[in-house]
Structure 1
Amino acid sequence: MGPLARKALRAGTGGLRGLLVGMTVGLVASAALAQRTATFFEPTAAKGPVVVLVSGAGGIQAYQEFGPRLAALGFYTVLVDGRDIMIPPWESPAPQGHAHLAAVIQAALSAPQASSSKAMLVGFSLGGAGVLVHGAPMKDQVAAVVAYYPATAVMGQDLAAVTARWQAPVLVLAGEKDTYRNCCLVATMRALESAPKQVPFELVIYPQANHGVNLESYPLFFRSEDAEDAWNRTVAFLQKYRPAHDR
């Protein structure tokens, strides 16, 4: 992998200073991979276990809020663009998603702020599909995977073949009323649940939720109670599956 270029930024004053020690913005560089900006959120302590956030198809902007929240809990957090990990059905050519995600994880684990030998992944929509397809099979690099309303339509017709490759525990959070681009239908979430797998799996379905239920920038879909419950479940899941020596 190429070098990880970083430009240090100082946290703002007041409450934000209390939440973040600092934030760095960099570029994951590799000649064979797409190059998009990755945002790094340093933990409140000197070091923390690694969490990689993978955005939806719209880019990282709508998901920026989750980095500081995880950093405040002590996680060293990296936010990357889901379009570098999983191809949307309306774009081409396909990026080398598995290699790119592996490179991002390795760079984060190698950082001085990282305290873990494995990363935990949280993906949203397109990024949710990406962490399920490319991240969950990474036995040596990934300790746990959370997928919010994953775009299962881009994961192929044989979901059993996807789940059979999983090597890390998986939590999926989905909306019963999600019809976004017909990519994230609840029926396919239940198909994931029923497919054979060798790892712990949990599916949580919110009966009144649509796509992007946890994103305040999507006011037509945002549901505060569901968003809070999903966040609490995410944090509990990450804490449960943190690599043992990080506890």
Structure 2
Amino acid sequence: MMETDHEFGYLAVPTAGSGPGILVLQEWWGLVPHIKDIADRLAAAGYVALAPDLYRGTTTNSPDEAGRMLMALNIEQAAQDLEQAATFLANHEAVTGEKLGVVGFCMGGQLALLAATVSDRIGAAVDFYGIHPNVHPNFSRLKAPVLGFFGEQDSFVTPEAVEQLISQIREAGKTIDTYTYPGAEHAFFNDTRPEVYNAEAASDAWQRTIAFFQDHLAA
């Protein structure tokens, strides 16, 4: 497996040297080691994974600062960044297949939905407890099936918010399947945060994510 820091962010290529491409979108903390680790895990599963650096080098472990950076994100610029990252990844010599996947976490989960509406290259989108108050994807432009993972005890993305998301996507005539894990909190997938990490939920969600990409992205 090869990992490199690229102008777009962090790129992980599988040992085999090629595979379908997947964008990995950061939480509100920035492009931190946890997100790079997810890209590495995808590369180990046979995918070429690119984690774009949407904060352009800035990271934090302070919730207050992360909240400020999330709210300061220029959504129009982020949409352009996502489209450019998708174009770069699709054209990368290691990437096989016509369509890309996208997976995002927290802020990145909502941006994954945005990416799937601004780029025609996205063929599968995975949303882990996505939230951003200023990101409102136009689901009429969604051309990829969506898989969503949520925590029953998530105070940021409540069960009501999940139902609203499902309704919005299905009313637009698009496809979404979701899983809500009993007792799981926001960021249950983040194994660098033991106070919220839920190993059982994370393992199940990961297996479903890999199976979803295998179903929808040609090798």
Q: Same fold (TM over 0.5)?
A: yes
Q: Is the 8 A contact 2:31 2:55 kept in 1?
A: no
Per the alignment, residue 186 of structure 2 pairs with 211
Tell me, yes or no, if the aligned pair for 2:105 and 2:129 is still in contact at 8 Å.
yes
Could you report, residue by residue, the CA deviation over 1:138-170 in whole angstroms, capped at 9, with x for unpaired residues? Answer: 4631101001000053334xxxx7333311100
Aligned to 1:121: 102
Aligned to 2:7: 27
CA deviations over 1:85-136 (Å, ceiling 9, x no partner): xx96632554512211110011111111111222100011111111112x22
| Mean CA deviation greater in 74-83 or 198-207 | 74-83
Q: Measured at CA, do residues 137 and 80 of structure 1 come closer, stay the same or move farther in structure 2, by a change above 3 Å?
A: same
Partner of 2:19: 48
In 2, the alpha carbon distance for the partners of 1:188 and 1:164 equals 19
Greater RCO structure (CA 8 Å; 6+ sep): 2
Aligned to 1:148: 128
Pick from 71, 96, 101 the counterpart of residue 90 of structure 1. 71
Partner Cα separation in structure 1 for residue 12 and residue 49 of structure 2: 5
Structure number with larger C-alpha Rg: 1
TM-score for both structures, normalised by structure 1: 0.77
Q: Which runs of 5+ in 2 are unaligned?
A: 57-67
> Residue 224 of structure 1 aligns with which residue?
199
Alignment coverage as a number of residue pairs: 205
Identity %: 25
Residue 162 of structure 1 pairs with residue 148 of structure 2? no
How far the C-alpha of 1:237 sits from its partner, in A, is: 0.6
| Contact persistence 1:47–1:76 (CA under 8 A) | yes
- 2:65 is matched with none
Contact 1:163 1:192 (8 Å CA) reproduced: no
Q: Give the 3-state SS of the residue equivalent to 2:50 in structure 1.
A: strand
Instruction: Name the structure where helix makes up a greater proportion of residues.
Output: 2
Could you tell me how far 1:58 is from its partner in structure 2? 0.2
- Using the TM superposition, give the Cα deviation of residue 67 of structure 1 relative to its aligned residue in structure 2, in angstroms: 1.3
Partner of 1:100: 81
Residues 193, 59 of structure 1: alpha-carbon distance in 2 compared, 3 angstrom cutoff:
same
User: 1:204 aligns to what SS in structure 2?
Assistant: strand
C-alpha distance in structure 1 between counterparts of 2:4 and 2:53, whole Å:
16
Which residue pairs with 1:79 in the alignment?
51
SS of structure 2 residue aligned to 1:136: helix
CA contact (8 A) 2:83 2:119 kept: no
- The TM-score, its normalising length taken from structure 2, stands at 0.86
Alignment check: 8 A CA contact 1:147 1:171 kept: yes
Q: Which residue of the partner structure matches residue 236 of structure 1?
A: 211
